[in-house]
């Protein structure tokens, strides 16, 4: 049995199904291919691909620190695989993120448009910088194969210490900043997980996970390539990991105790069960097993412990990342099979690149040889037809591509008809803004709106003359018609003209040739304009010119109108805050109370914690 080839065949099969799902995701969008919703916008992809991908890469900074900073040279043999794992982990994060972002092509915006108030700003910069550092750290290994890269390679080897230090600093920042990310949602994360020291706990658990990941990877590749396992070395790593797990457990329970939330661990509910499962397999059981010397020096137990701990800490990240979020309403999130497939595909891709690197470059002391892919082996023959499959390389290529093609076709079959035709934008009709001097602008009446100081805007912009700055089109016999009359949907452009209505009895039962010319094609270009019949359609001096009758969606129209003017005000007032989101979208609770007087809508957006 050829373990390497079989494993690669499985990976290619996963990637094949994933390719079909990925195509559907990028063509039809997130709504068509995931179980994510507005209530649960973060799910498996953030929890596993991003949060766990980063954590799994923890081995990189732990081992480089051990070898290059603390000078423990006995671990030197596992530096390069650890750095490679970290690099691939971060690449997987970046790729996984592209699937999860609604507009992935805007990912570079963060580099240009800085928003230092956002925790994601730190997370994003750490990912970019650490990915760069990891690339530079690993680059000398493949570069050794290419003579013309030797100058760059030598330069990077000289730079090793600064790179290692930068890598450790950035990792420390980044592992913990993923925790900080969840500090901003105290009402979402379950109290058993939400803690002010979440950043520190993320960092500590990442160290433990890093060690376990290195251990798992070493055991797995030894199995795959039938090489001698580094049991002694892994036992030493396990001994170190033991103390990390102890520290982590003390922090988890000490924190619960000090915050007074310890009572939750005995409460019912699936989240509490999840907590116990997570604590048991992420730290408690590995801690007990690693404390026994005979266990941690046994190969089979090293498998068990590393897989258990990795699963546990990944579960922790998925829990914090979305599974134990308290949702508005009672929506319950379970990842769709498509989400799981994409996740598996990202992992499989990373594994394939790892195997490629290991076989092609000097990642280990000795390059592994897949006995059947050795150039000196004889060609393979198909058992049934006795047809030659060619040299092993060609045979492998044939098999892998076949697995990929079949799996991708199967993936397309599994995608249901529904997921292949997304619903598109859901129509949401617009209601008139309510109020007097202050208008409550909430087109779809979902409780999220803007309180618009109508009278104040009139006063500041020149009383009667100010109307035409915003009101640019009137209904017949009306003045200063409200926005909702034409912008009738929240997101979808609507028709401000109404062709069929005009030809109906209500609209005057007009004949075709009231607007169209008899000798011309009947279309919008050759028809009469509305002001041919209607007087006072456009107020004199209106700032906004109407050149066609497709009214943009309500949200787009108002954003364009308000922001356009407010941006100009930045220079006049000297305050950039005037064009920021929060200038208009301010505390909604007061507004709802002030405008409607009811308190029912006040708690929308927050769940009362137990």
Interface residue list for another protein (CB under 8 A): 20, 394, 397-398, 401-402, 404-406, 408-410, 412-415, 417, 420-421
Cα atoms in the 13 Å half-sphere on the side-chain side of 381: 6
Rounded to an integer, what distance in angstroms lies between the CA atom of residue 358 and that of residue 217?
12
Output the smallest distance, CB 22 to another protein, in A: 13
Could you give the angle at the alpha carbon of 161 between the alpha carbons of 218 and 237, nearest 5°?
A: 25
Q: Which candidate, 322, 320, 327, places its Cα nearest to that of 339?
A: 322
Nearer to another protein by Cβ, of 404 and 440: the residue is 404
Output the smallest distance, CB 401 to another protein, in A: 5
Output the smallest distance, CB 410 to another protein, in A: 6
Cα atoms in the 13 Å half-sphere on the side-chain side of 395: 18
Rounded to an integer, what distance in angstroms lies between the CA atom of residue 340 and that of residue 333?
13
Nearer to another protein by Cβ, of 253 and 410: the residue is 410
Backbone angles phi, psi at 27, to 5 degrees: -85, -45
Rounded to an integer, what distance in angstroms lies between the CA atom of residue 370 and that of residue 400?
15
Output the smallest distance, CB 405 to another protein, in A: 4
Nearer to another protein by Cβ, of 363 and 415: the residue is 415
Output the smallest distance, CB 351 to another protein, in A: 22
Output the smallest distance, CB 412 to another protein, in A: 4
Nearer to another protein by Cβ, of 19 and 50: the residue is 19
Rounded to an integer, what distance in angstroms lies between the CA atom of residue 585 and that of residue 569?
17
What does the block give as tokens for 105? 């092509």
Nearer to another protein by Cβ, of 406 and 549: the residue is 406
What does the block give as tokens for 305? 């412990």
Q: Which residue has the tokens 């580094």?
A: 230
Output the smallest distance, CB 426 to another protein, in A: 18
What does the block give as tokens for 61? 């900074």
Output the smallest distance, CB 417 to another protein, in A: 6
Q: What is the number of helices (H) and of strands (E) in the chain?
A: 25, 7
Nearer to another protein by Cβ, of 20 and 88: the residue is 20
Beta carbons within 8 Å of 417's beta carbon, 6+ residues apart: none
Rounded to an integer, what distance in angstroms lies between the CA atom of residue 57 and that of residue 207?
9
Nearer to another protein by Cβ, of 398 and 509: the residue is 398
Helix (H), strand (E), coil (C) string for 403-423: HHHHHHHHHHHHCCHHHHCCC
Nearer to another protein by Cβ, of 316 and 345: the residue is 345
Q: Which candidate, 345, 349, 329, places its Cα nearest to that of 337?
A: 345
């Amino acid at each position: 049995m050829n373990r390497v080839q079989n494993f690669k065949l499985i990976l290619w099969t996963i990637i094949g199904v994933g390719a079909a799902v990925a195509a559907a995701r990028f063509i039809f969008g997130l709504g068509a291919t995931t179980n994510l919703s507005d209530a649960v916008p973060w799910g498996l992809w953030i929890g596993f691909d991003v949060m766990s991908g980063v954590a799994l890469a923890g081995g990189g900074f732990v081992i480089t620190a051990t070898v290059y900073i603390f000078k423990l040279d006995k671990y030197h043999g596992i530096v390069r695989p650890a750095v490679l794992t970290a690099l691939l982990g971060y690449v997987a994060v970046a790729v996984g993120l592209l699937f999860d972002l609604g507009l992935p092509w805007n990912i570079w915006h963060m580099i240009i448009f800085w928003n230092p108030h956002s925790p994601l700003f730190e997370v994003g910069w750490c990912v970019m910088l650490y990915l760069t550092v990891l690339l530079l750290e690993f680059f000398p290994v493949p570069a050794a194969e290419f003579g013309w890269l030797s100058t760059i390679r030598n330069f990077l080897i000289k730079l090793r210490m600064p790179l290692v230090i930068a890598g450790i600093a950035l990792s420390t920042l980044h592992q913990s900043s993923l925790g900080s990310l969840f500090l901003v949602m105290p009402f979402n994360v379950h109290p058993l997980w939400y803690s002010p020291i979440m950043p520190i706990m993320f960092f500590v658990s990442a160290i433990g996970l890093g060690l376990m990941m290195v251990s798992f990877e070493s055991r797995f590749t030894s199995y795959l390539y039938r090489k001698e396992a580094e049991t002694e070395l892994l036992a030493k790593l396990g001994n170190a990991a033991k103390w990390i797990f102890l520290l982590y457990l003390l922090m988890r329970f000490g924190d619960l105790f000090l915050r007074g939330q310890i009572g939750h661990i005995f409460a019912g509910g699936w989240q509490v069960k999840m907590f116990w499962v997570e604590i048991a397999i992420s730290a408690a059981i590995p801690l007990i097993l690693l404390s026994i010397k005979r266990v941690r020096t046994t190969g089979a137990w090293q498998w068990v412990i590393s897989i258990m701990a990795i699963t546990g800490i990944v579960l922790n990240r998925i829990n914090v990342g979305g599974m134990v979020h308290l949702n508005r309403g009672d929506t319950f999130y379970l990842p769709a099979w498509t989400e799981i497939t994409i996740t598996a595909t990202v992992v499989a891709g990373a594994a394939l690149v790892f195997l490629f690197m290991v076989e092609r470059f000097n990642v280990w002391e000795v390059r592994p040889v897949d006995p059947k892919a050795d150039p000196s082996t004889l060609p393979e023959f198909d058992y049934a037809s006795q047809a030659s499959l060619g040299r092993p390389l060609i045979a492998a290529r044939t098999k892998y591509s076949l697995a990929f093609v079949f799996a991708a076709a199967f993936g397309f079959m599994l995608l249901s008809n529904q997921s292949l035709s997304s619903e598109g934008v859901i129509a949401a009709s617009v209601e008139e803004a309510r109020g007097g001097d202050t208008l409550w602008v909430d087109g779809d009446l979902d409780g999220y709106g803007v309180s618009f100081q109508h009278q104040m805007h009139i006063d500041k912009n020149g009383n009667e003359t100010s109307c035409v700055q915003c009101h640019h089109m009137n209904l017949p016999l009306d003045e200063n018609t409200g926005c909702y009359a034409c912008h009738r949907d929240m997101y979808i452009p609507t028709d401000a003209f109404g062709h069929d209505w005009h030809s109906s009895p209500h609209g005057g039962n007009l004949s075709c040739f009231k607007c169209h010319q008899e000798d011309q094609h009947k279309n919008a270009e050759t028809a009469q304009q509305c002001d041919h019949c209607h007087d006072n359609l456009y107020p004199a001096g209106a700032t906004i010119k109407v050149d066609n009758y497709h009214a943009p969606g309500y949200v787009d129209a108002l954003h364009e109108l308000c922001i356009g003017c407010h941006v100009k005000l930045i220079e006049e007032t000297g305050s950039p805050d005037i064009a920021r989101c929060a200038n208009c979208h301010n505390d909604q609770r007061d507004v709802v109370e002030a405008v409607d007087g009811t308190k029912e809508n006040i708690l929308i957006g927050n769940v009362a914690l137990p």
